[in-house]
Amino acid sequence: MFTRTQPSPNTAGRPKGKLIHSVRCATPLLLLTTLALFLRIWGLDAGLTGKTTLGDEEQVVVRALRFGWGDLNPHWFLYPSLFMYIVFIFFGGFFAAGWAFGFFDSAKEFGLSFFAHPEMFYLIARTLSTLFGTGTIFLTYDITRRLTQNNLIALTSALFLAVSLFHIRESQSAKPDSAMIFFMMFSFYYTVKFWEDRRLRNAILAGATAGISISIKYPAGLILFPLLYVVFQHTIWSWSKRLMVS
């Protein structure tokens, strides 16, 4: 499943060359991330005018707002509740900024403004998904670079995700899919790190981020399989080493 590759000898042991190489890698990645963010912001307000049915987006936004009235039970479990809590916290940050600049006098006024300007709340929640989606581009690059030791392949894989119509659509929606994918990739990132250095800390972080992704949407449980594979592989390797020593 995983194969170890040696770093290119062209960059080994050359501090200046390594610095130049890092800058050359960072520049296209920054441009790629900017492109991904632009593609996800473009059309972020789609469907927020008129009488378009927003489906699960409405469920997420309305229930996140209801948390502000003191009832932290979403009373709806088609999705796990963590993403709704994250949206609620994001709403809280937006309110705090609006209150500081004099746009809102109270949390009650902020909550009631949903009835006059619901599109504002959908845009806030969609922006959160956009940030998760854009962050996934960087994780894709870094994971691929670690596995292949090839910057071009890593950039190519990140580019494919950046322009993926499916991923762009999910990153423009106030639903948990974009956040789920982000934390799944975070879990896989730590799984790869654990495979590289066998540090318990990385295995714990891989499990923790996998748990977060599952708490956002149930299908994320699939991300446990690569972690369990690497843990099993490490356990067999440790036992074999002990048997050889004894």
pLDDT in tens, 172-201: 999 999 999 999 999 999 999 999 988 999
pLDDT at position 182 is 98
- Highest mean pLDDT pick, 10-14, 22-26, 137-141: 137-141
Comparing 45-49, 191-195, 214-218, the range with the smallest average pLDDT is 45-49
| Residue-averaged pLDDT of the chain | 87
Closest-CA residue to 208 (of 196, 198, 220)? 220
Type of residue found at 75: H
pLDDT at 126 over 70: yes
User: Could you tell me what percent of the chain has a pLDDT over 90?
Assistant: 67
Nearest of 124, 134, 132, 44 to residue 89 by alpha carbon: 124
How far is 175 from 149, CA to CA, in rounded Å?
A: 34
Mean pLDDT for the stretch of residues 13-22: 47
Non-local CB neighbours of 128 within 8 Å, separated by 6+ positions = 86, 87, 90, 174, 179
* pLDDT at site 230: 92
d(CA 161, CA 42): 16
Q: Which of 50-59, 80-89, 209-218 has the lowest mean pLDDT?
A: 50-59
Rounded to 5°, angle at Cα 105 from 101 and 110: 95
Q: Six-digit token pair at 139?
A: 């994780």
pLDDT of residue 12: 43
